[in-house]
Amino acid sequence: MTVPPPAPGDALPADPFVPGAMNLRDVGGLPAGSGTTRHGVLFRSGNLARLDAAGTRALAELRLRRIIDLRADDEIAREPSRIAGLDIVTQRVPLFLGSVESFFRDDLSLDEMYRRLVDDSSEGVVAVVRGILADQPVLVHCTVGKDRTGVTIALTLAAAGVDTEAVVGDYARTEGLLPPQRNRKIVQTLRSLHPEAVHLEDLATRSPAPVMRALLEDVAHRYGSAGDYLRAHGLADDEIAELRRVLLTQDA
């Protein structure tokens, strides 16, 4: 199934409906100085393991050229993406160094998990940004679309010049987009495995604005900005400039 790419400036709905895809959205329309992020260029979501035929058709209508999957091998083996027949480049960038389960076992806070992701997976974050530059429209996803996707998209948007509070707000939206039935089931399962865990519900279901705000402040304190963080780990100045060109309207 081959779908032609959009013409420059084509707009798509901010929250396209793709049956079976949780937490899928377009990051277009976010304020960035005097401009905004473009619609129909960068999408984010949870996994694509529950797409039915209608979901696959709806995903095709986004005219994606690339999907960047941030999950580990075991996650993909357990829940493979249902995208057979779509003419889309799939890029694997497993971000966590260690298993997802270890974060629940170690009872990390979201702040600590995100700090570790920034520190330990910088090479992967840069690879994601380069994937975004390579092909658009592009979808970045992990299992839920909250943590790995949330941090990577936040750093990408911040580096492109999106207003900080808009970056934080986009991250925080996830909590309201996770189905309550899913949350109850996953929390119940995890609680049976980790009955004493303090941070379990935050890790599984929440995306608090103060956590992302604190992460961006920490990155700015240690590196100067999100762009400087990417530069420190190998991204070139011309790639940062291209990121702004790709993601932002011309008046930004």
Residue 103: half-sphere exposure toward Cβ, Cα within 13 Å = 22
14 pLDDT tier (thresholds 50, 70, 90): low
CATH number at residue 221: 3.90.190.10
Averaged pLDDT score across all residues of the chain? 91
What is the phi/psi pair of residue 159, to 5°? -65, -30
Q: How high is the pLDDT of residue 97? A: 63
User: In the chain, what percentage of residues exceed pLDDT 70?
Assistant: 92
Three-state SS at 146: coil
The verdict on residue 20 lying in a domain is: no
pTM of this structure: 0.91
The residue segments making up the domain with residue 153 are: 25-247
The verdict on residue 164 lying in a domain is: yes
Element (H, E) at 91: strand 89-92
Q: What number is the average pLDDT over the span 146-152?
A: 97
pLDDT digits (tens, 9 = 90+) for 73-132: 999 999 999 999 999 999 999 997 666 677 777 888 999 999 999 999 999 999 999 999
The conformation of residue 7, written as its DSSP 8-state character, comes to: P
Q: What is the C-alpha R_g of the chain?
A: 17
2 pLDDT tier (thresholds 50, 70, 90): very low
pLDDT greater than 80 at residue 192: yes
The answer to whether the CB of 96 falls within 8 A of the CB of 207 is: no
How many beta carbons lie within 10 A of that of residue 195, not counting itself?
8
Question: What does the alpha-carbon distance between residue 192 and residue 5 come to, in Å, rounded to a whole number?
Answer: 46
The structural domain count of the chain equals 1
Residues with Cβ within 8 Å of residue 153, at least 6 apart in sequence: 27, 42, 44, 140, 170, 171
Question: What does the alpha-carbon distance between residue 130 and residue 159 come to, in Å, rounded to a whole number?
Answer: 13
The verdict on residue 7 lying in a domain is: no
Respond yes or no on whether the N-terminal peptide bond of residue 6 is cis (omega within 30° of 0). no
More confident residue, 16 or 59: 59
Q: What is the edge-to-edge ordering of all strands in the sheet holding 89-92? A: 25-26, 42-45, 138-141, 66-69, 89-92
The verdict on residue 37 lying in a domain is: yes
Element (H, E) at 31: strand 31-32
The answer to whether the CB of 13 falls within 8 A of the CB of 26 is: yes
The verdict on residue 228 lying in a domain is: yes
The answer to whether the CB of 57 falls within 8 A of the CB of 85 is: no
The verdict on residue 18 lying in a domain is: no
Q: How high is the pLDDT of residue 104? A: 79
Joined tokens for residue 198: 């303090």
Residues with Cβ within 8 Å of residue 80, at least 6 apart in sequence: 49
The verdict on residue 6 lying in a domain is: no
Q: How high is the pLDDT of residue 198? A: 83
The verdict on residue 16 lying in a domain is: no
Q: How high is the pLDDT of residue 16? A: 86
Question: What does the alpha-carbon distance between residue 246 and residue 41 come to, in Å, rounded to a whole number?
Answer: 8
The answer to whether the CB of 128 falls within 8 A of the CB of 140 is: yes
The answer to whether the CB of 229 falls within 8 A of the CB of 122 is: yes
